[in-house]
Structure 1
Amino acid sequence: MAAALVPSALELIARVEAVASLKGVRLGRDSKNELQRLRHNLLVLNALLEDAEQRRNTDRIIQLWIDSLTDAAYDLVDVLDEWITTLMKLRIKGVGKTSILKAKVGSYVTHCLHTAQVVRRDDLAFKLKEISDRLYVIANRGHGLCLVQRSVFQHSRGIGSTAFVDVSAIIGRDEVKGDIVSSLLSASTEPLKTISVVGMGGVGKTAIAQLVYMDEVVMEHFDHRIWVCVSEVFDENNVAKTIIKGVEGFISFEGVDSLDSFPLSALLNRICISIHRKKFFLVLDDVWADDKRQWEGLIQTFKHGAPGSRILLTTRKDMVANMMVDSHVIHLQPLSDEQCWMLVSQDAFSGRGVEECQNLEDIGKRISNKCKGLPLTAKALGALLRGKSSRREWERILNSKILKLEIAQLGLFPSLLFSYNDLPLPLRQCFKYCAVFPKDFVYDGETIIYHWMAQGYLGLNNDEDLELKGREYISYLAARSFFHDFLLDTDGIKSTWKMHDIMHDFAQFLMINDGIVIEVNPEGNSMTDLSSRKAHYLTACIPEGHCHPTSIYGAEKLHSLMIISGENAVTNEAVRIIFNQAKQLRKHEA
């Protein structure tokens, strides 16, 4: 997060000076000099960051250097925030021109003008000087690592607006689609059957399921079509409620909201009634739970549908496919190199002339071979190459160390890393931040933009239209295939979208040193301990029927706290205690 924190700290320094000037508060010569020293060190570090970010995944020492800078930058932002809060408190109390502030944030003098007290070591001024010294050492260490200074990044410029490009075309899956559709449309007198699509992450299981789900013949063949995204955390109640809403629609005689109060037995009974003698097509996407006992209740309800009802299931695990009713398993294989190239080229060559395409084709095919047959990475590479105009730029991508990585932990990520590193610095932080949301989260522009604003990723200048900038960021990321499954509002503006599982895993990989997702101890433990970690972003998932912990050790460092829970999981007392502990939380009020 250093790439976002450093520009934010620069803007906070300017805000400290502006607020002090507004209130007529004299900061003192030493404080002014310290702010100037901080500003210089931050500008130097900002110039080194671009090179460091490009090298972090191939050089462990560079990664450690970025980690130390990130820690110092977090501390600096917290101190500057505290300083501004002190100034604003003076403003609220109506304190005008005064030297009292010197005792709190002043010029490292040994005596205050109004008191004879020695300024304590934990005062803001001394915290600031300590961090400034740390940053000076880190900057010198960066030069010692031969980091190259690049032009200083301007936080609010250089992104521009990019129109969303639809890259959802399916290549190389016609035969698979045909097999699935044939199985779905087979004799209507046959009992319930399951078609299971099994394959590794990123191979296109969800894409082929969507293609089948939207097929016109399939749409006409069934009385009801229901799509359920199951995901890693299996919740039988949520799956049941989604099926009911899919069959009954959003208007029912008891009201959709009333489903939240239904016990599981009542939900299962309602499914039986809703699908009775109805021919339904149910898609269970991204299933992980392979314990048949967890599915037994739902499986029994499915049998109440009319003959010819079908289930289409996507999973990475053979054990999941084998536990379903009369399951016909299709193992989805990676694309061939030629198919990957077709997928890459349809995006990379968009808008280019014939001669230019011929000049780049040989390099493009060699690059596309790095996809390992995965459509997701092919789309990401195609979107990346579309913005590269010269043969030299394509050769740089081909020869990148990132594309040659064989590190096991990176798994499917090498080509995604290159696309990520090609993003402007603030967009990298915006993308990484999406890891604090759970998998299969349906993002909407307003929510994510307000989160980005609260963290300072869109800048701190109140004169700018930060929401407009946020929408530009979303379009930029969408055009490069970091987001997918967009729904448009009546004005043609992207209203909601999702992240592919692999993209979400990738974002979590990038956030590994900054954020964590925990499931609150269902045994009723009232405390969660973060003290051994450096997490500044915490997502707490609370199982149904349990309460949020009333205390979080290490919460004083948190900049973001997201709670995913059921009704009444967070008490007012828990909120009060946590807010008293986590005083660095950011918020934005719409």
Structure 2
Amino acid sequence: MKAGAIVKHVAGKLSQTAWERMGGMLWNFKGDFQNMEDKMVTLQVVLSYADKRSRGRGTDDDALAQHWLKKYKSVAYDIEDAMDELEGNATIWKRSPSKVKLVFSSVNPLIVRISMSNKMRSIRLQLDSIAEDANKFNFLSSSASSTEQTNNERGRETYIGARDDIQMVGREREKKHILKLLQNHGDKEKSIIPIVGLGGLGKTTMAKFVYTLKESDEFRFDLKAWVYVSMDFKLEKVISDTISELDGRLPVKDATLHYLKSQLDKILYDKVYLIVLDDLWEESVHTLEELVTMLQSGKKGSKIVVTTRSEKVASTLSVVGSSHFHTVEPIKLEGLSDDECWSIMKPKNLGDDQITDFVDIGKEIAKQCNGVPLVAKALGYVMRKNCTREAWLEIKDSNIMDIKDDDKGILKGLLRSYHHMPPQLKLCFMYCSIFPKSRDIDHDSLIQQWIALGFIQGPDGQLQKIGIEYINEFLGMSFLNILTYLTVSSTRSFKPTHSLRMHDMVHDLARHVASNELSYTDGTENINTQWVKLNCNYLLLNQNKTLSTYIALPTNVRAISFRECDKLQLPQQAFSHTLYLRILDMSGCHVSKLPVSVYKLKLLRYLDASTLPISNLPKSLNLLLNLQTLILSNTSLNTLPTNIGNLQKLQYFNLLGCVSLCELPISFGNLSSLLFLNLASCHELHTLPEFFGRLNKLQFLNLSNCYKLHSLPESCSQLHDLAHLDLSDCHNLEEITDWIGNLSKLEYLNMSSCSKVQILPDPLCELKMLKRLDLSFCIKLEHLPSSIGDLRIETLDIEGCFFLRNLQRAFLVS
């Protein structure tokens, strides 16, 4: 499975463009790489056969295929490491200010050449051995007779991840029942409505149907809240999230239950509410009783909808809630019929006459869904993209024997969809296993991590767009779900960030396909016995709040993520041996300084130090010359290193909430590759330097809530690629001058609550690509430009512009 995807990924990187990036530093290694590429191309057909054979029924040949793939995958990683190491050294040599220092360092060209020669020799021998094994195991002749379709480079269709259209098949009886229960006129009590069923059967979809009902006399609620609970139940968090959903405030941290209840009582008092508690696992009588007691305020007619896999949860709620609520009989979701699954899967853009020849195959595949809508959606997406008899036969006949499955074949059904992903999507999906179950995944951060690992290949400046396309693929398969109602647009590189989440069953699948690629701990394991996957490539340390002793890290690891490791003490040399690390997420630690060994990670491309209590960074940060993503949001930084401009590969820089940062150093203008810059809520930032316009590749700039910012430099006119500019809540910003007319690619401009702006410049109306203009609560704004009607905007918000007058007739007509 993943072995084939990894090998194909590395083979794709062995291209002329990769060699060109290494410049003149290849010496005689170019011939080695060409030889490797030739061998990998020759083995391509064998790879497809072995990949398919490795999913078989456990015969000796199947075991040989698995062993061969494991060896091949290991060599592929070695090749990629060698390529990245050469490219990393090339960058250092090109930009090192002192050639003398190189003579005595680990990147001395002579030392690197000797070391790399040894690596190349070892890789050549391993590749030769793999080719010999292919002959020995008879893979070549077997693959020649195989008719497996290998066309994975298919065109993509766009999926818009906006607010879901709630579509349910075969649930009419359940819908009518729940609608009757929701009718609240004349209710004499508050109700709890449990929805029970296995994972993937549509419990959350049913709850969404309830939650998104249009308001009417029959369905009228004063307040509504959707709270995702998950297996990791914490009463304080559930109540805090409920309060946040109801009144829009950020969740309260470390508050007592007494305080939370008092706040919730105030909000719910004399209100009819609808609260959805999605994915509740907690079965403890005492805990559920506390939960119900916390929610007892509110008027009669209030409803709590609970989705759960456990009938015990439903029965317990009926007992503990009896004094405050009436718990109705659970709505139990059973599996769909085969015909209902087929109606979900059947390509909507094709008529029966177009698929008559293979509709029988589709119905056979529908039987393999075991009545689970989640599986039907995932397989249906794959079938619609590969609408041929041969492709459908391959899906039907897939051997899915290598997974333990306790939920009526759900995982096996989802695994079929995974098998038919293109190689690059397989790798991106596998990497999602590094995130803890039931946790939100930041959309932009996920894409940046895929880029850091080389899973997204394409021209510079376009990688984010390709990443959005990959996200859309996963949304289409229901492998990811979007948590906000913002639209994912593949026409723009960056947008306001939002969160994604994986269904628990899909997360289980990701962990399954990752297998020994991932090592993780969730705080329950004995850390000394857990650390057995010394060759893992991805490492997650999660919820180790009591772990204070440093543990040796695997030497080959490529990505490390720390989550809730509040007490972990990292020695200065913690990362001395993780030489191939590309991603380091330390946002879950609580260190006041980054270990010095971090600055020696020459292959590091992604560094997240957000929320750490660090006030400054050393000049040695400039040694991370291959860094592409740097996240320092919500830290205590008051300055940036004066030489930060040396990070000339940096594309994504997030400084959100650095409330003490007051200025940007002069070298900041040298960040010539920067595409994304978030300076939102940098409260002490009062001006941008004149050199700011040198960031001429910038596509996204967020300066919202920089309320001391009083002007923008004229050099901003050079930001020709800027598509998104957010100036909201810049209360001291006095004007936008004519330079705004030079931002020819600007699509989004937010100036809401720029309370000192009185006029807008006429060149604003030259922005032909502008789609959204937000001027809400610009309380001193008096006029719009006379040619405002020339704009082709889709949304204009002028709410709260109390002194705005003389709206142009041309604008009103347009």
Considering the TM-score relative to the shorter chain, is it more than 0.5?
yes
- Aligned in 2, Cα 1:42/1:360: closer, same or farther, shift over 3 Å? closer
1:514 aligns with 2:517: yes
Aligned equivalents of 2:466 and 2:111: distance in 1?
36
2:296 paired residue among 272, 294, 303: 303
C-alpha displacement of 1:231: 1.1
Q: How far did residue 376 of structure 1 move?
A: 0.9
Identical-residue share of aligned pairs (%) = 26
**Cα 1:67/1:351, change in 2 over 3 Å:** same
Alpha-carbon displacement from aligned partner over 1:437-493 (angstroms, at most 9, x marks no partner): 23344445422221110110012x554621222222223333344334475547866
Could you say if the C-alpha distance between residues 192 and 145 of structure 1 is closer, same or farther in structure 2, counting changes exceeding 3 Å? farther
CA displacement 1:227-278 (0-9 Å, x = unmatched): 111112112222111100122124xxxxx36x12423332233222221232
Q: Which sections of structure 1, spanning at least 5 residues, go unmatched?
A: 109-122, 251-255
CA distance in structure 1 between the aligned counterparts of 2:53 and 2:461, rounded to whole angstroms: 32
The equivalent residue for 1:131 is: 123
- 1:439 aligned residue (416, 437, 443): 437
Secondary structure of the 2:85 match is helix
Q: Quote the offset at 1:370 in angstroms.
A: 1.2
Equivalent residue of 1:278, what SS? coil
Deviations 1:45-70 (A, max 9, x none): 45543333333322343233322322
Q: CA, structure 1 residues 135+233, in 2 after alignment: closer, same or farther (shift >3 Å)?
A: farther
Once residues 593 and 69 of structure 2 are traced to their aligned partners in structure 1, the CA distance between those partners, rounded to angstroms, is: 35
Distance 1:186 1:299 in 2: 20
Counterpart code for 1:249 = G
Alpha-carbon distance between aligned partners in 2 of 1:464 and 1:54, rounded to the nearest angstrom: 36
2:573 aligns with none
Q: Per-residue CA shift, 1:152-185, capped at 9, x if unaligned? A: x999x94544121778520111211221222233
2:407 is the alignment partner of 1:399: no
- TM-score, normalised to structure 2, is 0.61
Measured in 2, the distance between the counterparts of 1:167 and 1:471 equals 20
Gap change, CA 1:78 and 1:548, over 3 Å in 2: farther
In structure 2, relative to structure 1, the CA distance for the partners of 1:77 and 1:387 (3 Å cut) is: closer
The answer as to whether partners of 1:559 and 1:584 remain within 8 angstroms in 2 is no
Q: After the TM superposition, which of the residue ranges 277-286 and 139-148 deviates more from structure 2?
A: 139-148
Deviation at 1:358, TM superposition (A): 3.5
Inter-partner Cα distance in structure 2 for 1:522 and 1:532: 14
Match of 1:88 in 2: 91
Between the aligned partners of 2:308 and 2:339, the Cα distance in structure 1 is 26
CA-to-partner distance for each residue in 1:398-419, whole Å, 9 max, x for gaps? 33334x8896479422332222
- Aligned residue in 1 for 2:553: 554
Shift in alpha-carbon separation, 1:356–1:16, aligned structure 2, 3 A: closer
> Per-residue CA shift, 1:24-44, capped at 9, x if unaligned?
x5724xx45443433333334
TM-score (norm 1): 0.82
Structure 1 match to 2:313: 320
Q: How many angstroms apart in 2 are the aligned matches of 1:548 and 1:406? A: 32
Work out whether residues 192 and 306 of structure 2, in 8 Å CA contact, stay in contact via their aligned partners in 1. Answer: yes
Matched residue, 1:119: none
2:502: which partner in 1? 499
Q: C-alpha distance in 2, partners of 1:507/1:424?
A: 15
Amino acid at match of 2:351: G
Shift of 1:286: 0.9
* 1:77 aligned partner: 80
Residue 105 (structure 1) shift: 3.3
Structure 1 position 576 matched with structure 2 position 576: no
Measured in 2, the distance between the counterparts of 1:394 and 1:361 equals: 9
Cα contact 1:442–1:497 (8 A) shared by 2: yes
SS in 1 for 2:13: helix
After TM superposition, give the deviation of residue 355 of structure 1 in Å: 1.6
Matches within 5 A, 1:334-413: 334-345=335-346, 348=347, 350-402=348-400, 408=405, 411-413=409-411
Q: For 1:516, what is the secondary structure of its paired residue?
A: strand
1:86-143 per-residue CA deviation (whole Å, 9 max, x = no partner) reads 333333335779999563233x6xxxxxxxxxxxxxx343233223322322233234
- Tell me if structure 2 keeps the 8 A contact 1:529–1:552: no
Q: How many residue pairs were aligned?
A: 554
CA distance in 2 between partners of 1:384 and 1:10 (Å): 23
Alignment of 1:534-545 (within 5 A): 534-542=535-543
Is this contact kept in 2: 1:558–1:582, CA < 8 A? no
Is residue 432–residue 510 contact of structure 1 (8 Å, CA) maintained in 2?
yes
Distance 1:140 1:241 in 2: 61
Candidates 272, 276, 281, aligned match of 2:274: 281
Structure 1 or 2: more helix by fraction: 1
- Which residue of the partner structure matches residue 105 of structure 1? 112
Return the alpha-carbon distance in structure 2 between the equivalents of residues 196 and 321 of structure 1: 6
Within 5 Å, give how 1:9-24 maps onto structure 2. Answer: 11=13, 17-18=19-20, 21-22=23-24
Answering whether residue 164 of structure 2 is matched by residue 162 of structure 1, we say no
Q: Residue 92 of structure 2 aligns to a residue in which SS?
A: helix
In the alignment, does 2:422 pair up with 1:424?
yes
- Higher-RCO chain (CA-CA 8 Å, sequence separation at least 6): 1
Equivalent position SS for 1:540: strand
- 2:6 aligned partner: 4
Q: Distance in 1 between matches of 2:258 and 2:22?
A: 63
Q: Provide Cα deviations, 1:194-252, integer angstroms capped at 9, x if missing partner.
A: 221111111111111111111225894222111111112112222111100122124xx
Note if contact 2:7-2:72 (Cα within 8 Å) is conserved in structure 1. no
